[in-house]
Chains A and B, each alone.
Chain A
Amino acid sequence: MKSPVRLERRLEQPKWLNWAIPLISLLAALAVGAIVLLLTGKNPLDVYHRIFERGFLSTRALTGTLRTATPFAFTGLCAAAAFRLGVINIGGEGQLYMGAIGASYAGLVMGDSYPVGIVIIAMVFAGMIFGGMYAGFVGLLRAQFNTNEIITSLMMNYIAGIILNYLIFNSLSYWRDPRSAGFPSGKPLEKRAFWPSYEIAGVGISFGLILATFVAVAVWVLYKRSRFGFEIGIIADSPRAARYIGIRTKTTIVLVTALSGALAGIGGASQVGDFTHNLDAKGLQLNNFGYTGIVVAALARLNPLGAIVVAILLGGLTNAGYSLQGPDFPSGLVGTLQGLILFTAVAGEILMKYRVKRNTAAKKAMVAS
């Protein structure tokens, strides 16, 4: 019994596939999602229309979408930066928490005495350092002991969550607001540590998203145009060739993993500086920012600039999910769609490498029978 189609390896990968395949993946995910919706007695077209409306079709919707997209952009860059080297860092979640812890510390310490610009820069760097060191440890374990970074980075997400809870709920730490008697919360930042936001045609844009765009360009230059990026590409393609020309593979693994964590760390800093203005232990853990970043990176095919676009797309989906949540819009739907998108995006990579051909021999056999 032969399958009617077969996969044939592509010799060259045409450029148009770079955007066509993510698009097909997205449509395929929506198609499978439609089946799920039909099974639960919903009209898929109606649901998708409402998602689109609430995600993109008004200034209010767009403002919310861009707000949600901001952390996705950073965690998407985080995943893409590491995946490009073949280091599967899925610890963006925890690295984002650590970034938030670092940035809120910097904001709290410096917020009442330094100029606004300095405070913001300090918060960004504190986020990068905390997120970067947290991830750097994963990279170090991988480089030195060849531990599986998928497991270590995942486990460290839980540790980061516990640290967050400890700082706000289970201790009288520097981060906890001493005045929050009933329900403990993070100490609020001074106004000077608030990150600016901008408005274009009625749509609010956070400083964080603009920063993410610049960071994406920087990451793109680093990977596509720099010597370091060239070496990363060689290691990912052929570790033996890297050894042959004397690239310091271990150092590179540690540095790239740390960089990846630093990017998620800025995402955490942005949560504090742009939106919550304190260390919001519960809020950070509610939204799976880090895990969604993996979907973002996969759909963007690890392209940093693509990650920004995809982050806005998934931001819209998630944002619509928040506002539509109710009896006729199950809360699990957005998560289901995200999962399907990840699935189809990964499957789409097969189409990148192979083309689908009709199996002529099988066809003849079918005609004969």
Chain B
Amino acid sequence: MTNTIAVHMSGVVKRFPGVVANDGVEFELRRGEVHALLGENGAGKSTLSNILTGLYRPDEGTIELNGAPVSFSSPRDALNAGIGMVHQHFRLVETFSVAENVVLGNPDTAFLLDTAAINERVKELAARYDMAVDPEARVWQLSVGEQQRVEILKVLYRGAQVLILDEPTAVLTPIEADALFRTLRAMTTEGRTVIFISHKLDEVMAVSDRITVLRGGRTVGTVETSSTNKRDLASMMVGRNVEFTRVQRKTPAQTNDVVLHVENLGGHDDRGRDALHGITLTVGRGEIVGVAGVAGNGQRELAEVIAGMRHATTGSVSVEGKVLQSGKARAAIAGGVAHVPEDRLHTGLAAGHSVEDNLALKSYRSSLLSRFGLLRRQAMRDGAVTLVERYDVKTPNTQTAVRLLSGGNVQKVLLAREFSTGPKVLIAASPTRGLDVGAIESVRERLVEAADGGLGVLLISEDLDEIMSLADRIAVMYEGRVVAVIPADKADRETIGLLMGGAQLEATS
């Protein structure tokens, strides 16, 4: 029974404009197993599960369910066939009770709810899989862990045989995560099958029977959990044999001449939870420090605290020895911090505004561009024309709205402005993400050029290749902490991959 194949996906290709998210993925799921899907961000895990749950249709390839070919055109089709997804971001009606949420959207539910019977069934289902949750409680009263149980119950109630859990532990406390693992075990012993999407090596090792590793939209391989280890998984995940060349620098980094000093920094995320735990980090003059890590481990919060967009709960940020006022973007800008945010078009720029306005976004208050509270439009225009030429921005004219430019040119506008403010430190968050090859090359050249000119660069990126080839030192972030800082010439992908996955360095080396 355990060796029969529940799902077999073969040669799955899914293209999006400008990117191939799945490029011939092979995936085989045995009935009754917990099968982990492991990979970095952008490896194609989400796309694959979205195809399996009917959200996307593959461009090529076949899906077989219990040996028979299937084609889903909506999540409802997939659910009817017994495949259900538990999303990372819950889709619950907060003012409804647990039981009401569970039956919501279920076509078999009668027009008039038999509340007592439904409560009874939900309670029974919850007990069977060891999930403590009160069917009559309102969802808003529940903890995050309990809400996740409701999501799982929803899928079970619909009779799903295959459950896909998308990074289920990202929101859980360790105790809640253990409870979840017990629940998953209880489900598989009943013959249900679980796909467990994660990038955390420890929990993948703890919970799964088999592991399929994806990288760059392709299947790297499927291994039995009992016959592998974290080190092998990490190298499968980040790629072992890729040759990359370190960029040649004209001026060597002066690591000891510190321009950016981050000391014991703490900070909250958007929901007010601690996202940074005592981050200490330095960037020297002309040095590029790469911050490696899987997205969501505090990188964005770190960038925003340094840039003054977010308050520091502990610690301080100083530039050339001067402490910056926490939570004041203008203080950071005045102190010489340039910031290329992750969300270029709507944070780094005002997309509906012209190239001219956007180029002046950080200097419009200077006496050069405004006087007596009035803008000096001619000076803004002249400045914009100069920058557009110098940075080779392809735009019809300086009055064109930034949202009409291509991604590469959007980034050029942003970089042009940030460099034009005469910064001492640049925080660049995923500066090449989503760009085409040519644009990526030009952005990297600009960064290196700026560092050669003495700028300290904190390069936050999920692209390990980028970090390995540009950075002088590499800091690895995991769950809001800098877990290691390694000189780039001593760094190897395996070690960094392990650290990104939360493994302890001592335990593995």
Is residue B266 contacting chain A, with contact meaning CB distance below 8 A?
Answer: no
- Which A residues lie within 8 Å of B332 (CB)? 246
- Tell whether, in the assembled complex, residue B329 and residue A245 are in contact, meaning their CB atoms are under 8 Å apart: yes
**A residues near B444, Cβ cutoff 8 Å:** none
Asked if B377 contacts A230 (CB within 8 A), the reply is no
A112: B residues at CB distance < 8 A? none
Where chain A touches its partner, the secondary structure class is helix
Whether the Cβ atoms of A246 and B348 lie closer than 8 Å is: no
Q: In the complex, are the beta carbons of A243 and B343 less than 8 A apart?
A: no
A227 to B371, CA, bound (A): 9
Q: What's the Cα separation between A68 and B347 when bound, in Å?
A: 45
Q: Take A227-B365, A230-B375, A240-B343 as given contacts and tell me if A246 and B328 are in contact as well, using a CB distance cutoff of 8 Å.
A: yes
In the assembled complex, which residues on chain B have CB atoms less than 8 Å from the CB atom of A241? Answer: 346-350, 361
List CB contacts (< 8 Å) of B288-330 with chain A.
Answer: 307-309, 328-330
Do A226 and B374 touch across chains, with their CB atoms under 8 A apart?
A: yes
Closest 3 CB pairs of A and B: A246-B329, A246-B330, A237-B350
Cβ of A364 within 8 Å of any chain B Cβ, yes or no, is no
- Supposing A11-B404, A233-B353, A244-B329 touch, asked if A228 and B347 sit within 8 A by C-beta, the answer is no
Tell me, yes or no, whether A238 is within 8 Å of chain B by CB.
Answer: yes
Q: Which of A11, A221, A244 meets B347, CB within 8 Å?
A: A244
> Contacts A230-B357, A230-B364, A234-B361 given: A244-B375 contact, CB under 8 Å?
no
- Whether A237 pairs with B347 at a CB distance below 8 angstroms is no
Tally of A-B Cβ pairs under 8 angstroms: 69
Specify which of A225, A237, A245, A246 is in contact with B374 (CB 8 Å cutoff). Answer: A225
Besides the known contacts A240-B343, A243-B347, 13 further A-B residue pairs in the complex with CB atoms under 8 A apart: A11-B404, A12-B404, A226-B373, A226-B374, A227-B364, A227-B365, A230-B357, A233-B357, A240-B347, A244-B347, A245-B329, A245-B362, A246-B328
B105 an interface residue at 8 Å Cβ cutoff?
Answer: no
B341, B352, B365: the one within 8 Å of A237 (CB): B352
**Nearest A-chain residue to B310, judged by Cβ:** A243
A227 to B347, CA, bound (A): 19
Question: CA separation between A244 and B309, bound complex, in Å?
Answer: 6
- Name A244's closest neighbour in chain B (CB-CB): B347
B351 contacts partner chain A, Cβ-Cβ < 8 Å: yes
- In the complex, are the beta carbons of B404 and A234 less than 8 A apart? no
Query: Who on chain B is nearest to A241 by CB?
Result: B350
Contacts of B362 in A (CB 8 A): 245
Question: Which residue of chain B has its CB nearest to the CB of A238?
Answer: B350
A244/B339 in contact, CB under 8 A = yes
Which of A11, A241, A243 lies at the interface centre, i.e. has the most chain B CB atoms within 10 A of its CB?
A: A241
In chain A, positions 195-244 with a C-beta closer than 8 Å to chain B are: 221, 225-228, 230, 233-234, 237-238, 240-244
Supposing A245-B362, A246-B328 touch, asked if A227 and B374 sit within 8 A by C-beta, the answer is yes
* B342-400, CB < 8 A from A: 343, 346-353, 357, 361-362, 364-365, 370, 373-375, 377, 400
Whether A228 contacts B364 by the Cβ 8 Å rule is no
| A contact residues around B343 at 8 Å (CB) | 240
Q: Is the CB of B375 within 8 A of A245?
A: no
What's the Cα separation between A51 and B295 when bound, in Å?
65
| B353 near A227: Cβ-Cβ < 8 Å | no
Residues of chain B within 8 A (CB-CB) of A238 are: 346-347, 349-352
Q: How many residues of B contact A (CB 8 A)?
A: 33
Q: Does B477 contact A (CB under 8 A)?
A: no
8 A-B pairs with C-beta separation under 8 A: A12-B400, A225-B374, A233-B357, A234-B361, A238-B352, A240-B343, A240-B346, A246-B333
A236 → chain B closest CB, angstroms? 8
B375 touches A227 (CB 8 A): yes
Contact surface of A with B, Cβ cutoff 8 Å? 11-12, 221, 225-228, 230, 233-234, 237-238, 240-246
The answer to whether B370 touches A234 (Cβ under 8 A) is no
Contacts of A12 in B (CB 8 A): 400-401, 404
Q: In the complex, what distance in Å separates the CA atom of A311 from the CA atom of B373? A: 29
Chain B residue numbers with a CB within 8 Å of A234 are: 350, 353, 361
Residues of A within 8 A of B361 (CB): 234, 241, 245
A241 to B330, CA, bound (A): 13
Q: Is the CB of B329 within 8 A of A243?
A: yes
A242 vs B361: C-alpha distance when bound (angstroms): 9
**Cα distance A26–B21 when bound, in Å?**
50
Q: Are B352 and A226 in contact (CB under 8 A)?
A: no
Q: Is the CB of B353 within 8 A of A237?
A: yes
B378 → chain A closest CB, angstroms: 12
> Is there an interface contact between B373 and A228, defined as CB atoms closer than 8 Å?
yes
Give Cα A232 to B365, complex, Å. 14
Question: What A residues does B365 contact at CB under 8 A?
Answer: 227
A228 CA to B364 CA, complexed, in Å = 10
CB distance from B326 to the nearest CB of A (A): 12
Chain B residues with CB under 8 A of A227: 364-365, 370, 373-375
Residues of the A chain whose Cβ atoms lie less than 8 Å from the Cβ of B350:
233-234, 237-238, 241-242
Chain B residues whose CB sits within 8 angstroms of the CB of A237 once the complex forms:
350-353
Rounded to whole Å, the gap between the CB of B182 and the closest CB of chain A is 41
Residue with the highest number of chain A CB atoms closer than 10 Å, among B330, B339, B362, B374: B374
CB neighbours (8 Å) of A226 from chain B are: 373-375
Instruction: From B308, B347, B353, B375, give the contact of A246 (CB < 8 A).
Output: B308
Against A, the Cβ 8 Å flags (1 = close, 0 = not) of B263-302 are 0000000000000000000000000000000000000000
Residue of A nearest to B399 (CB): A12
The docked-state distance in angstroms from the alpha carbon of A225 to that of B348 is: 22
A234 to B400, CA, bound (A): 16
Most A Cβ at <10 Å: residue of B339, B341, B373? B373
> How far, in angstroms, from A89 to B468 measured CA to CA in the complex?
53
Q: In the docked arrangement, what's the CA distance between A238 and B351, Å?
A: 7
Expressed in whole angstroms, the Cα–Cα distance for A244 and B349 within the complex equals 9
Contacts of B308 in A (CB 8 A): 246
- Complex: how many Å from CA A285 to CA B343? 49
Checking B333, B352, B401 against A245 with a beta-carbon cut-off of 8 angstroms, the contacting residue is B333
B375 contact set on A, CB distance < 8 A: 225-227, 230
Docked complex Cα distance between A234 and B348 (Å): 11
